[in-house]
Amino acid sequence: MYVTRELPGDALGALRGEHDVEVWPESTPPPADVLRRRVADADALLCMLTERVDAALLDSAPRLRAVANCAVGTDNIDLDACRARGVAVGNTPGVLTDATADLAMALMLAAARRLPEGVAEVREGRWGPWNPGHLLGLDLAGATLGIVGHGRIGRAVAHRAAAFGMTVVHTSRSGGLPLGELLARADVVSLHTPATPETRRLIGEAELRAMKPTAILVNTARGSVVDQAALRRALHEGWIAAAALDVTEPEPLPATDPLLDAPNLIVVPHVGSATHRTRATMAALAAENLLAALAGRPMPHPVP
């Protein structure tokens, strides 16, 4: 069995109790050629979103029976290629809902109250006398939150926003407002859609121009949902007031990427699930998937 990163919690101990386990020792992903060599004789692979599991990798691993993604998403895995080869695939659904919803609220608050600007002023010695017009932001109480994608995480964000006194509207495949109407009404737009061909560049120039010039965009979904070139223009030209992103395209985003020179922008490095409890639970679910598959049982958390 090959595991592409050290894991928090007791997941590796559970795997080693029943199987021989090799773990990539670095904190960065294994290079693609290294991954191919390591899985060549493996029966199972526990990987992250950073590893591409495609037909070429599968062809190099004829013994592979199971892949466990330590993530909810599976856009790094060619599911059709796995099905064609009889390789079971599992993920870790549900466990990161609260952590990601908390981060969405944190980004919303940070952008609304302009916290990064305030922190920078203090650290750089620019904290001047109190001024009644300085660093004014958005009151969340009474504001309208538009949620794009009303799954587990979207609903969890809606629950939190209601406690802040926000009016919540949503759009999704199952109902709610049309996207255009939501964008025009919302003071904050929070994205919670999966990465699919239909959601790629869902928020582009037309959608950003449809938002209020005082509105904030929050993305904790996938970077591909937003046209980053259009977002850069929107922030420079004032189509919207601010944006806060946990996800980008690509990841990691190079420090030289033009998006990062945009004003009123917060970018954090895909930390939506980054709590001790959440990451340990994700690792445990991934381990359970592999242990079940290698024992000839259905994975408890399979990807259809």
Domain membership flag for residue 255: yes
Domain count, the chain: 2
- Amino acid identity, position 55: A
Domain membership flag for residue 242: yes
Domain membership flag for residue 301: no
Residues 139 and 246 in one domain: yes
Domain membership flag for residue 303: no
Q: What is the pLDDT of the chain when averaged over all its residues?
A: 97
Domain encompassing residue 24: 2-94+275-294
| pLDDT for 73 | 86
Residues 130 and 245 in one domain: yes
Residues 154 and 26 in one domain: no
| pLDDT for 5 | 97
Does residue 174 surpass a pLDDT of 90?
A: no
pLDDT per residue over 119-143, tens digit each? 999 999 999 999 999 999 999 999 9
Residues 49 and 131 in one domain: no
Separation CA 149–CA 250 (nearest Å): 22
CATH classification of the domain holding 210? 3.40.50.720
Do 259 and 232 form a contact (C-beta atoms < 8 A)? yes
Separation CA 60–CA 65 (nearest Å): 13
Residues 14 and 122 in one domain: no
Mean pLDDT for 215-242 is 98
| pLDDT for 140 | 98
Do 217 and 189 form a contact (C-beta atoms < 8 A)? yes
Domain membership flag for residue 304: no
Does residue 304 surpass a pLDDT of 90?
A: no
Count helices and strands in the chain by DSSP H and E runs: 11, 12
Do 3 and 15 form a contact (C-beta atoms < 8 A)? yes
199 pLDDT band, cuts 50/70/90, is: very high
Do 225 and 191 form a contact (C-beta atoms < 8 A)? yes
Does residue 209 surpass a pLDDT of 90?
A: yes
Active-site residue set: 222, 251, 270
Domain membership flag for residue 130: yes
pLDDT per residue over 61-118, tens digit each? 999 999 999 998 898 999 999 999 999 999 999 899 999 999 999 999 999 999 999 9
Residues 134 and 224 in one domain: yes
Is the CA virtual torsion 81, 87, 88, 93 positive or negative?
negative
Find residue 22's DSSP bridge partners: 2
Residues 43 and 14 in one domain: yes
Domain membership flag for residue 302: no
